[in-house]
Amino acid sequence: MPDSAFAYSGSELDVFAAAANWRSYWGDQVHPFLGRRVLEVGAGIGSVTRTLCHAGVEHWVALEPDAGMAGHLARITADGFPAPVSSRHGTVESLDAAERFDSVLYIDVLEHIEDDGAELRRVAAHVDPGGHIVVLSPAHQYLYTPFDAAIGHHRRYDRASLRRLEPPGCSLVTMRYLDSVGMLASLGNRLLLRSAHPKPAQITLWDRFMVPLSRHLDPLLGYHCGKSLIAVWRKDGPAEGAAAE
């Protein structure tokens, strides 16, 4: 689909924008894999950029295929960030072939892309050796609800389905489920409520009480269950500046 034809149909960006505990939780999981040059695919309204961008970043590219959101990003990226942020309207296909990054982020984005395997194969060519591709996505297809459909999710993932997408020339560093307590709430919604749009009060309850419980419980469970799944791949080969053996 050409960039100009893409229009985002979802509403979860606004719904989850105030979920500070959740952003802090997954942000702590992602932060160790950020490099100096970061590509964020599907930057949306800038919530991920605000959560992760820090003074150690040399350059952050916030890539967004929706023209309206890209315009919003362009207005906000000139203000309030501790590192240089460049907002771009486009997709990975629109990147210059020579562009390289230390890390590429897909934070609640890959499930919106119909051909997810081709997307990761394509973006792997833009990652320097030693760099990382980070995917955070909703977990478990049996938790798929009308809300997923309403916001344009093609699927939810489990370990097996996400592992099959391993990009060429990359090795898996970690894969773990997050938010075990939230998973129970999602299962209740799937079986009982089948809500297409969670209410603000539901989001507040989850973020304020369930997410902090999950932060304590998930490690005890070995990160084996949760409503979200994070995977990190490392691009094979010596890191930039490493001495050849």
What confidence tens digit (pLDDT) does each residue in 190-229 have? 655 556 567 788 888 999 999 999 999 999 999 999 999 9
- The answer to whether 87 and 74 are in contact (CB under 8 A) is yes
Q: Which CATH architecture has domain 3-235?
A: 3-Layer(aba) Sandwich (3.40)
User: How confident is the model over 222-243, as pLDDT tens digits?
Assistant: 999 999 999 999 999 866 554 3
Q: Note every long-range contact of 158-161, with CB atoms under 8 Å and residues 24 or more positions apart, other chains counting.
A: 158/229, 159/229
Claim: this prediction has a pTM higher than 0.85: yes
Please report the pLDDT score of residue 218 as a whole number. Answer: 98
- pLDDT: which is higher, 172 or 83: 172
Which tokens go with 128?
A: 């320097």
Please report the pLDDT score of residue 58 as a whole number. Answer: 94
CA atoms of 131 and 150, how far apart (whole Å): 34
- pLDDT: which is higher, 210 or 3: 210
Give CA 42 to chain center in angstroms: 8
Q: Does residue 245 register a pLDDT over 50?
A: no
Please report the pLDDT score of residue 103 as a whole number. Answer: 98
Please report the pLDDT score of residue 185 as a whole number. Answer: 82
Q: Picking from 20-34, 115-129, 132-146, 180-194, which range would have the lowest pLDDT averaged per residue?
A: 180-194
* Band of pLDDT at residue 73, cut at 50, 70 and 90: confident
Please report the pLDDT score of residue 78 as a whole number. Answer: 67
SS3 230: strand
Share of the chain above pLDDT 70, in %: 86
CA atoms of 25 and 181, how far apart (whole Å): 13
**DSSP class per residue in 51-81:** HH--TT-SEEEEEES-HHHHHHHHHHTTSS-
* Band of pLDDT at residue 71, cut at 50, 70 and 90: confident
Q: Enumerate the domain spans of the chain.
A: 3-235
- The answer to whether 63 and 43 are in contact (CB under 8 A) is yes
Q: Cα dist. 47→12, 24, 163, 166 in Å?
A: 12, 11, 27, 26
Residue with tokens 């994070």: 230
SS3 240: coil
* Band of pLDDT at residue 106, cut at 50, 70 and 90: very high
User: How confident is the model over 121-156, as pLDDT tens digits?
Assistant: 999 999 999 999 999 999 999 888 878 888 889 999
